[in-house]
Amino acid sequence: MVAFGKKLKERQIQEWQGYYINYKLMKKKVRQHAQQIEVGTQDRRHVLKDFSRMLDNQIEKIVLFLLEQQGLLASRIAELNEQQEALQQQPDIFEISQLREAYREVGRDLLKLLFFIEINAIGLRKILKKVDKRFGYRFTDYYVKTRANHPYSQLQQVFKHVGLGAVVGAISRNLHELQEHQGSYLSIYDQPALPFQDPVVDSMKAAVDRLTHSTNFLNFLAQHALIMQEELPTFEEPVDDQKYHFISLLLNLVNTFLYMVNTYIIVPTADDYSMSLGAAATVCGIVIGSMAVAQVFSSVYFSAWSNKSYFRPLVFSSIVLFIGNAMYALAYDFNSIAVLLLGRVFCGLGSARAVNRRYISDCVPLKIRMQASAGFVSASALGMACGPALAGLLQTNFKLYKLTFNQDTLPGWVMSLAWLIYLVWLWISFKEPSHVTEESSAAQESTAEPVENDVLEKGLKQPLLLSSEDKRVIEDGDGEFDGSDEASEEARGPATSIGSAYRLLTPSVKVQLLIYFMLKYAMEVLLSESSVVTTYYFSWSTSSVAIFLACLGLTVLPVNIVVGSYISNMFEDRQILLASEIMVCVGILLSFHIISPYTVPQYVCSGLILFVSAEVLEGVNLSLLSRVMSSRLSRGTYNGGLLSTEAGTLARVVADGTITLAGYLGESRLLNVTLLPSLVICVASIVATCFTYNSLY
């Protein structure tokens, strides 16, 4: 990877070179002003005025060129419209074909202009961030508030680009009318759901979506997958449609769904199964957590394996999970807790989530990658809800030959059958993409949605400062705050070990991983001990526990819809992050057994507050992580997705271990003892969040 300044220069359209933001000059000015402030030769007020004037000049240069190009495009469209009117009187197939190609050519030129705006927007954000960093105060806050809301704001001209939307509309409408619609005289306005048929229109629409990116449910959900993007968009997108195979993508998502079902299907019955084998009920913590322990290691080798193949690791995953679930079910007849634990370990060794994520990143075309990423997250959420619900339905008891089928063993048998069927389907239908080596493909890897461009679109409502704060790291290629774009480290490739990946993390990213650890820990404690706690306090049956857990799981998608579609548009991510952390803390506090008797409403309400708040926190936290991690972590074996997976998995391991250890103190103390570490970690994450953001910004 090269420095941003070099990338900016390389990706400039040569004939427009003089109209781009002069990033090198402005960066030099930042250093000069910072030195002058340090030695006391200039005061901050003078620096503020001087740098504001320079930014105004740079933005004005961009805006005037933008208006000029918009006028040229509009003139060309007007001429083509006249030709189209003439063709309506005397249609000619050859001339219609030429006219359509002419409209496409205007569309391609418009794409260049959109790309021009996008690069300048990224450069502007980087400069504003550097000023805040080097000068030590919120210059961005001042600049955006004074410029974005002014009636003559040129900042709005760049980032609202209403005129460009009109050009896109004109090209789309006319290309649509030149298409053959089997005698239909309806326009695009009469058929809003009609898909665009022309690739140029699709490309324009995607480019405009990047620039006018506002938080919505699909974008918000897709970012949870932590499929990361390069720092700058490329005008020439890689042609990856040949690698795309819908059934293979579907199989990939089914693997995600089944694995999450496999994870949570045993939760309602794990305590009962443990007792039937002569262990304490709280050993359910080890039973549930042993899968997560194995996943810590399997995530690494599956991530490395996906550099060479997708089919073979998915086959291996299915076989191992089939064996693991069969062992889990057979443990009852063997009367062996060791076989039970070994079966869950095998299940963890079959965790192919790293492959699932990598397949979407490498083999799904850019235009549908966001939907595929959202599908990955949705499949996980659906599996989380279906697991306990399925366990609640498996309430039967019979023997077939010497094998026992009851509520404890049926989850294992059902999942073994599911993985066997999946393996057959995978073997028949999966199509291995034309896989290239990691080194040769690194330059072509990209992600679902460039996320650089929502900053000033939101900022015109005020959060440009805050959104740019949220995106502060990804705009530095090496992931460091010092803004040293010329550093030789930036020329290095992806991280080669967990240690080197960890060293790329900035303080704020480490805090966000701590938050992720905290919320996964709190959720795992709530879910894993639910059966023991509810049996002890309320004498709930397995079906009641399954219904409770399934209802919690079903809140995942509705909560993300509300947050992604509404709350994220009203508040900045930092505010939602801190508020949801506080609500998680409130949920933990309300869960403590302090006042007797401990009632069902208290447990259910506190659990719901904790779980929903943790879901909101996870969504916002991962959304931020997908944007602020170093772009060097967007590829390779040790990528950002792997780091987040390891953090979450480690949290589950620690939580399940805590439940088992707390069980030695007795079931009466289990609830409070396990909640205490959750509270401590939650308070620590809140303090770390406040300290990190206040000190950096």
- Give CA separation, 32 vs 50, 429, 608, in Å: 12, 61, 54
- Give CA separation, 112 vs 13, 99, 503, in Å: 8, 20, 37
Residue 241, pLDDT score? 52
Q: Look at residues 167, 22, 176, 188 and name the one whose alpha carbon lies nearest to residue 109.
A: 167
Cα gap 25→28, rounded to integer Å: 5
DSSP letter assigned to residue 490: G
Contact 258, 418 (CB under 8 A): yes
Structure tokens at 179: 């298409």
DSSP 270-335: HHHHHHHTTS-GGGHHHHHHHHHHHHHHHHHHHHHHTTT-SHHHHHHHHHHHHHHHHHHHHHHHHT
Structure tokens at 337: 């807790």
Cα gap 109→57, rounded to integer Å: 25
| Backbone φ, ψ for residue 266 (5° rounding) | -90, -10
> Tens digit of pLDDT for each residue in 635-676?
666 777 777 788 888 999 999 999 999 988 888 889 999 999
Show the DSSP H helices in 335-446 as ranges: 337-349, 353-363, 366-393, 410-429, 438-441
The angle that helices 600-628 and 640-662 make with each other, rounded to 10 degrees, is 150
DSSP letter assigned to residue 598: P
| Omega within 30 of 0 (cis) for the link into 597 | yes
Cα gap 37→39, rounded to integer Å: 6
- Output the CA angle 275-279-285, nearest 5 degrees: 90
Helix (H/G/I), strand (E/B), else coil: 203: helix
Q: Look at residues 526, 522, 525 and name the one whose alpha carbon lies nearest to residue 548.
A: 526
Structure tokens at 123: 């450069």
Residue 411, pLDDT score? 94
Contact 303, 354 (CB under 8 A): yes
Q: How many residues does the chain have?
A: 697
Mean pLDDT for back-to-back runs of 10 residues, the chain (697 residues): 59 79 82 76 74 84 85 85 77 78 82 81 77 67 66 60 62 67 42 51 62 54 61 48 78 93 92 90 88 88 86 95 95 93 93 86 76 82 90 88 90 95 95 59 38 36 36 38 40 66 77 90 92 92 91 86 75 82 94 90 94 87 71 68 82 91 88 94 91 56
DSSP 136-156: SS-HHHHHHHHHHTSTT-HHH
Cα gap 421→614, rounded to integer Å: 34
As to burial, measured by CB atoms within 10 angstroms (0-12 exposed, 13-18 middle, 19+ buried), residue 437 is exposed
Contact 591, 675 (CB under 8 A): yes
Residue 468, pLDDT score? 37
Contact 453, 124 (CB under 8 A): no
User: For the stretch 472-508, what's the b/e string if a residue is b when 16 or more beta carbons lie within 10 angstroms of its beta carbon?
Assistant: bbbbbbbbbbebebeeeebeeebbeeeeebeebbbeb
Cα gap 245→251, rounded to integer Å: 10
Cα gap 689→576, rounded to integer Å: 12
Residue 538, pLDDT score? 92
Residue 244, pLDDT score? 73
Cα gap 98→100, rounded to integer Å: 5
- Output the CA angle 144-150-151, nearest 5 degrees: 150
